[in-house]
Amino acid sequence: MLSKRIVVCLDVRGGRTTKGIKFRENVDVGDPVQMARLYYEEGADEMVFYDITASAEYRDIMIDVVEGVAQQIFIPFSVGGGVRTLDDMRKVLLAGAEKVSVNTAAVLNPKIIEKGAKAFGSQCIVLGMDVKKVEVSEKIPSGYEIVIHGGRTYTGIDALWWAKEAVSLGAGEICLNSIDADGTQAGYELTLTKLIAENVSIPVIASGGAGVPSHLYDVLMKANADAALIASIVHYGTYSIREIKEYLHSHGVKVRMVW
Amino acid sequence: MVAIVDYRAGNLSSVLYALTYLGYKAIITSKLKEIMAAERIIFPGVGAAGKAMVDIKKLGLDKAIKEVFNAGKPILGICLGIQIIFERSEENNTHCLGIISGEAKAFPHPLYGQRDELLKIPHMGWNKVKFIKLHPVFNGLDPRAEFYFLHSYYPVPKDALMAFGLTEYGIEFTSALAYKNLIAIQFHPEKSGRPGLKILENFCNWSP
């Protein structure tokens, strides 16, 4: 039986980790490689690095970060943000990442999923989906709409349709982020997660809303997510990964307990 | 020196980084001379069996690997590396290296778990390996340790005595096997945290 995965997400801007990562002794909290190392040692099952750099001039710095991470941490990790072309994918994978994640780029150009899957294998291609709850309509029958540009632009695309479409194009995994839940620390969007997780044949990582360990229990057990993504809950030092895992383990969730 | 055999099957730098981190000298190579000269070889890989065998033959690596095996040097096959040491793979119905008897089979479809839930394929993520026999390469591991898997086909050695580790995912399959100077594992030790590094370290210190 597979364990449910706890995925830690780090935002990187210009080669430095950003937003509210609390001071930790002996660790340069701005250095993504050191932060990755810390979470690896604390028991993260997987990591995601989002390059939130707006301009292309920092791309090479991101590749350096990926290489640095690959030399230090020995668990799978993916890279998202700014991956638009096959060449971007190749660079990230060759630098040592297991997977690349495409979000806005895939909405604007769905063929990138297909091309990526053919070139590197489906297991390498993660579809990142940013989703907002909307009125049920003919166009959006699931009541969940895909948004892009960090949630600012509505696309008119139904989230469930897009998830299935991405699977048929060759995506190997979905990272499902609820814009409504993101940053609230009030729990994951369970209805959305369950809807997507039970209707696609590939693993779903739930993202957005984790505030306490029971939120992870809910999304993994009640909404059937294969993995739960966390950020602030560990960055602020509210809980350690071990505390979260011990909570899940004691409540009957199969998680990796030695590392 | 450890030679990591490059047969164009995916990114091999993770294996190199892990060995470097552990303090062992290693190179990624497809040169026969370097492979033959190495003290031990690692045969990793992600990808499809069909294309892998075409590339292996093109590079002349099929003979080299058999020669290294016959010379008694330690060999570690990882992931696709455990599958193509058999006679054949159901993936692209491929004739493989035939170093040991057996084949790589596709997971049954549909595949159900213990609670009758539908299991996703590929088998991707962290799972346990039940080590059923002692072996120096699998020594010193916590029985609760988990390893990172990513595959749609699974190894079936003809001789059940070669099975050293078993994993359950809908079915129970051989996830670690050993035969003479050959070790082969389905999971990725270079992506399995400390327990995975332990296996790589054990392999680098092993004299069969």
- Which CATH number covers residue A181? 3.20.20.70
Sequence-ordered list of residues with C-beta below 8 angstroms from that of A25, at least 6 positions apart, any chain: none
pLDDT tens-digit profile of A57-114? 677 889 999 999 999 999 999 999 889 999 999 999 989 999 999 999 999 999 999 9
Give the per-residue pLDDT at A54.
59
Q: What residues of chain B lie within 8 A of the CB of A40, using their CB?
A: 193
pLDDT tens-digit profile of B93-142? 999 999 999 999 999 989 999 888 889 888 999 999 999 999 999 999 99
Judge whether A42 lies within some domain.
yes
Judge whether A89 lies within some domain.
yes
Give the per-residue pLDDT at B12.
87
Give the per-residue pLDDT at B200.
98
What predicted TM-score, i.e. pTM, was given to this entire model?
0.94
pLDDT mean across residues, chain B: 94
Tell me whether B125 touches chain A (CB under 8 Å): yes
Calculate what percentage of chain B has a pLDDT beyond 90. Answer: 88
Q: Does the pLDDT of residue A23 top 80, yes or no?
A: no
Contact B190/A72, CB-based, under 8 Å? no
What is the identity of the amino acid at B79? C
Sequence-ordered list of residues with C-beta below 8 angstroms from that of B195, at least 6 positions apart, any chain: A258, A259, B141, B142, B145, B146, B147
Angle at B102 between CA B99 and CA B104, to 5 degrees: 105
Residue A195 three-state SS: helix
Judge whether A59 lies within some domain.
yes
Q: What residues of chain A lie within 8 A of the CB of B148, using their CB?
A: 75-76
ipTM rounded to 2 decimals: 0.93
Judge whether A258 lies within some domain.
no
Nearest to A123 among B114, B150, B192 (CB): B150
Q: Which residue has the tokens 């769905």?
A: A110
What is the identity of the amino acid at A68? G
> Mean of the pLDDT values across residues A137-145?
97
Give the per-residue pLDDT at B195.
98
Q: Which CATH superfamily is domain B2-205 in?
A: Class I glutamine amidotransferase (GATase) domain (3.40.50.880)
Give dist(CA B83, CA B104) in Å, integer.
5
Give the per-residue pLDDT at A25.
66
Nearest to A121 among B46, B127, B196 (CB): B46
Contact B191/A121, CB-based, under 8 Å? no
Give the per-residue pLDDT at A120.
86
**Catalytic site positions of A:** 11, 130
Distance from CA of A249 to the nearest CA of B (A): 13
Tell me whether B14 touches chain A (CB under 8 Å): yes
Peptide bond before residue B189 is cis, with ω within 30 degrees of 0: no
Q: What residues of chain A lie within 8 A of the CB of B125, using their CB?
A: 2-3, 5, 45, 203, 226-227
B146 is catalytic: no
Judge whether A92 lies within some domain.
yes
Compare all CA atoms of chain B with the CA of A7 and give the residue at the minimum distance.
B125
Q: What residues of chain B lie within 8 A of the CB of A203, using their CB?
A: 120, 124-125
Judge whether A259 lies within some domain.
no
pLDDT tens-digit profile of B42-68? 999 777 889 899 999 999 999 999 999
Q: What's the structural domain count of chain A?
A: 1
Q: Does the pLDDT of residue A155 top 90, yes or no?
A: yes
Is residue A158 within 8 A of residue A140, CB to CB? The reply is: yes
Is residue B8 within 8 A of residue B54, CB to CB? The reply is: no
Q: Does the pLDDT of residue A20 top 70, yes or no?
A: no
pLDDT tier at B8, thresholds 50, 70, 90: confident
Q: What residues of chain A lie within 8 A of the CB of B191, using their CB?
A: 74-76, 98
Query: 64-93 in A: which are within 8 Å (CB) of B?
Result: 70-72, 74-76, 93
Is residue B128 within 8 A of residue B157, CB to CB? The reply is: no
What is the identity of the amino acid at A219? V
Compare all CA atoms of chain A with the CA of B196 and give the residue at the minimum distance.
A74
Judge whether A107 lies within some domain.
yes
Among the listed residues B79, B96, B103, B151, the single catalytic one is B79
Nearest to A259 among B13, B122, B193 (CB): B193
Domain ranges of chain B: 2-205
Compare all CA atoms of chain A with the CA of B9 and give the residue at the minimum distance.
A120
Contact A74/B197, CB-based, under 8 Å? yes
Q: What residues of chain B lie within 8 A of the CB of A72, using their CB?
A: 21
Distance from CA of B71 to the nearest CA of A (A): 31
Residue A141's domain comprises 5-250
Tell me whether A202 touches chain B (CB under 8 Å): yes
B79 is catalytic: yes
Give the per-residue pLDDT at A22.
67
Contact A201/B120, CB-based, under 8 Å? yes
Tell me whether B123 touches chain A (CB under 8 Å): yes
Higher pLDDT, A102 or A236: A102
Say which range, A199-208, B18-27, B112-121, B140-149, has the weakest mean pLDDT: B112-121
Calculate what percentage of chain B has a pLDDT beyond 70. Answer: 100
Compare all CA atoms of chain B with the CA of A93 and give the residue at the minimum distance.
B11
pLDDT tier at A19, thresholds 50, 70, 90: low
Nearest to B191 by CA among B42, B54, B14: B14
What is the identity of the amino acid at A126? V
Give the per-residue pLDDT at A118.
87
Distance from CA of A25 to the nearest CA of B (A): 23
> Mean of the pLDDT values across residues A199-220?
97
Give the per-residue pLDDT at A26.
72
